[in-house]
Amino acid sequence: MNIQPVSEKFGELYGPGAELFASPGRINLIGEHTDYNGGFVFPGAVDKGIVAAIRPNGTDRVRAHALDLGETAEFGLREEDKPAQPWARYIFGVCREMQKRGAAIGGFDTVFSGDVPLGAGMSSSAALESTYAFALNELYACGIDKFELARIGQATEHNYCGVNCGIMDQFASVFGRKGCLMRLDCRSMEFEYFPFDPKGYRLVLVDSRVKHELVGSPYNDRRASCERVAKVLGQEFLRGATMEQLDAVRDRISDEDYRRARYVIGEERRVLDVCEALQQGDYETVGRRMFETHWGMSRDYEVSCEELDFLAAVAEECGVTGARIMGGGFGGCTINLVRDERYDSFIAEAKRRFNEKYGHEPQVYDVVISDGSRRL
């Protein structure tokens, strides 16, 4: 993480005395688009994230500098003070959501930077929210618990950034633990750490460096599909629904809603299968479930794209243990579980074939499972 440049820029703009905080991005091994359906997710924090230098300034205004963009914003802490810059709304939203929970926070100066690859599905926005929620909670001694810090990040997305997201990204960023993945029950909010030490395998992201701009709100549309089906089933969420129940109401829902729900119901089962397989050290089953998730996201949930389907197919042909699209979809990266002896040949082949077809090489990131939000 870019600690030194952040400290130096803060000193240049605002003087000495800043404290440093960091929060990570995340990967999700399996359990995609299940969080807002009350299901299970299986994320881990990574060694890439956001680092921020922060110092209260004794006023009621925030002065913020985004180092990577070279942009500065200044705003107050009242609802009508919402800044124009999209990146600044994340910081503003965190402040407002903390105030709504009774936190007495004041103005502050801050500089932040990140090394979470943008657009790769590693949740740079959640890392940004978690960094400021954690930091302000510490600096102003607000006494807000870690789960509520994650909810503050989620509420920021809902109320200030126009994204109706689940809780997974913020949870993983706040609660991450080195060497562990976390199974989170998004309905009860109970979670469990699972040691993740795939000896003989490597976890790697292959980033297509493609992001398809879409008309409308495809993420919110899919959430609405799931909510419609749950309502027909007489449930709050799709969580716990069976294929038998879904088939019984097929004539009362659209084909599209049926396929969306079929994916979510299958994904709930796959997450539990993967947990069981990890406890037994059975990474081959983990890999098979990853491929099943990918093609379900592609064909039923329709959040993949040609480039990611191509990368998943190349992974299958290269004998990769498991691969799938990671993140909300429509671009970004695949997450791949690869045997050590196949790693080099797979990466070389994926780069070569992708470049031949699309005119640029994908970016490759080895995944290191790391700690969550913290003071540096």
206-225 pLDDT, tens digit each: 999 887 765 568 878 999 99
Q: What is the pLDDT of residue 328?
A: 73
The predicted-structure confidence for 5-29, as pLDDT tens digits, reads as follows: 999 999 999 999 999 999 999 999 9
Examine the domain organization and report whether 350 and 312 are in the same domain.
yes
What is the dihedral sign for C-alpha 93, 99, 101, 105? positive
- Domain of residue 190 covers 3-195+371-375
Examine the domain organization and report whether 35 and 101 are in the same domain.
yes
Supply the pTM of this predicted model: 0.85
Counting beta carbons within 10 angstroms of the beta carbon of residue 279, is it exposed (0 to 12), middle (13 to 18) or buried (19 or more)?
A: exposed
Examine the domain organization and report whether 189 and 205 are in the same domain.
no
Examine the domain organization and report whether 159 and 60 are in the same domain.
yes
What radius of gyration do the chain's Cα atoms show?
Answer: 21
Examine the domain organization and report whether 183 and 53 are in the same domain.
yes
Examine the domain organization and report whether 19 and 44 are in the same domain.
yes
Dihedral pair phi/psi, residue 152, rounded to 5°: -60, -40
What CATH number did the domain enclosing 316 receive? 3.30.70.890
Q: Is position 169 annotated as part of the catalytic site? A: yes
The predicted-structure confidence for 97-130, as pLDDT tens digits, reads as follows: 999 999 999 999 999 999 987 666 778 899 999 9
Catalytic, out of 35, 109, 169, 207? 169
Q: How confident is the model over 90-94, as a mean pLDDT?
A: 97
Examine the domain organization and report whether 88 and 14 are in the same domain.
yes
Number of domains in the chain: 2
Q: What is the pLDDT of residue 216?
A: 66
- Is the predicted pLDDT of residue 190 greater than 60, yes or no? yes
Q: How confident is the model over 180-184, as a mean pLDDT?
A: 93
Q: What is the pLDDT of residue 123?
A: 82
Examine the domain organization and report whether 158 and 292 are in the same domain.
no
At 240, the amino acid letter reads G
Residue spans of alpha helices (H) in 118-207:
124-139, 146-160, 168-175
Q: How confident is the model over 326-338, as a mean pLDDT?
A: 87
